[in-house]
């Protein structure tokens, strides 16, 4: 099985602002744009996304679009989700349904999401986003804002919030 470093080099992945590494793999340029309340969007976009033992967290963020996550290689990932009504759940995306993993995870727009790699060198997934991803449709979680909104999940929120920025990183 390839290592995290080999995936990064082979797929041309770059650091992602949420944590981990990514590269956009598709956008539906051949289709008319979709008109949304936030402006025109591609009908669909997709990325490769990799978490590694050196960058094991996809920090709290909220997307307006629906996202399908597909596990490809490596260890399972725990997805921590907070619904608008404050309900929290954890779902494991991974290679083994006999261990309780799901092979595909649908996360509707409007849910707060953080991802964590447990044991293992890496986890490689793909994400398909509809309507297509646009930075204007994503909000990074801020600890004070999230804990004020969801005080029942303070420990979980603080564990997976992005540390203060130390410089520019690439976005999807």
Sort strands 57-63 and 138-140 into parallel, antiparallel or unpaired.
Answer: antiparallel
Which pLDDT tens digit goes with each residue over 56-112?
999 999 999 999 999 999 999 999 999 999 999 999 999 999 999 999 999 999 999
CA distance 8 to 2: 10
CA distance 6 to 156: 31
- Take residue 46 and report the two structure tokens written for it: 């997709």
Higher pLDDT, 1 or 21: 21
What residues does 169 pair with on adjacent strands?
none
Quick one: pLDDT at residue 163?
A: 72
Which pLDDT tens digit goes with each residue over 25-41?
999 999 999 999 999 99
Q: In angstroms, how far is the first alpha carbon of the chain from the final one? A: 26
Higher pLDDT, 51 or 165: 51
Q: pLDDT band at residue 170, thresholds of 50, 70 and 90?
A: very low
Domains of the chain by start residue, with CATH: 4-160 (2.60.120.10)
- In this prediction, what percent of the chain has a pLDDT beyond 90? 91
- Take residue 163 and report the two structure tokens written for it: 């540390």
CA distance 101 to 4: 21
Which pLDDT tens digit goes with each residue over 107-151?
999 999 999 998 999 999 999 999 999 999 999 999 999 999 999
Quick one: pLDDT at residue 169?
A: 41
Is the pLDDT reported for residue 166 higher than 90? Answer: no
Q: pLDDT band at residue 165, thresholds of 50, 70 and 90?
A: low
Quick one: pLDDT at residue 1?
A: 87
Q: Tell me which residue has tokens 């997307």.
A: 63
- Take residue 132 and report the two structure tokens written for it: 């297509």
- The helix/strand count (H/E) of the chain reads as 3, 13
CA distance 69 to 162: 21
Quick one: pLDDT at residue 164?
A: 65
Quick one: pLDDT at residue 171?
A: 41
């Amino acid at each position: 099985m390839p290592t995290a470093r080999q995936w990064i080099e082979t797929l041309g992945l770059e650091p992602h602002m949420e944590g981990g590494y990514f590269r956009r793999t598709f956008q539906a340029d051949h289709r008319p744009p979709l008109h949304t309340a936030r402006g025109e969007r591609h009908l669909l976009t997709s990325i490769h996304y990799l978490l590694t033992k050196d960058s094991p967290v996809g920090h709290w963020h909220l997307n307006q679009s629906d996202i399908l996550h597909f596990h490809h290689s490596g260890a399972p990932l725990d997805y921590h989700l907070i619904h608008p009504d404050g309900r929290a759940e954890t779902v494991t995306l991974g290679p083994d349904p006999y261990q309780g993993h799901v092979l595909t995870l649908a996360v509707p727009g409007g849910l707060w999401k953080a991802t964590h790699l447990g044991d293992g060198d890496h986890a490689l997934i793909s994400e398909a986003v509809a309507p297509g991803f646009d930075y204007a449709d994503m909000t990074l979680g801020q600890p004070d804002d999230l804990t004020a909104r969801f005080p029942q999940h303070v420990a979980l929120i603080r564990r997976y919030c992005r540390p203060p920025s130390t410089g520019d990183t690439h976005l999807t």
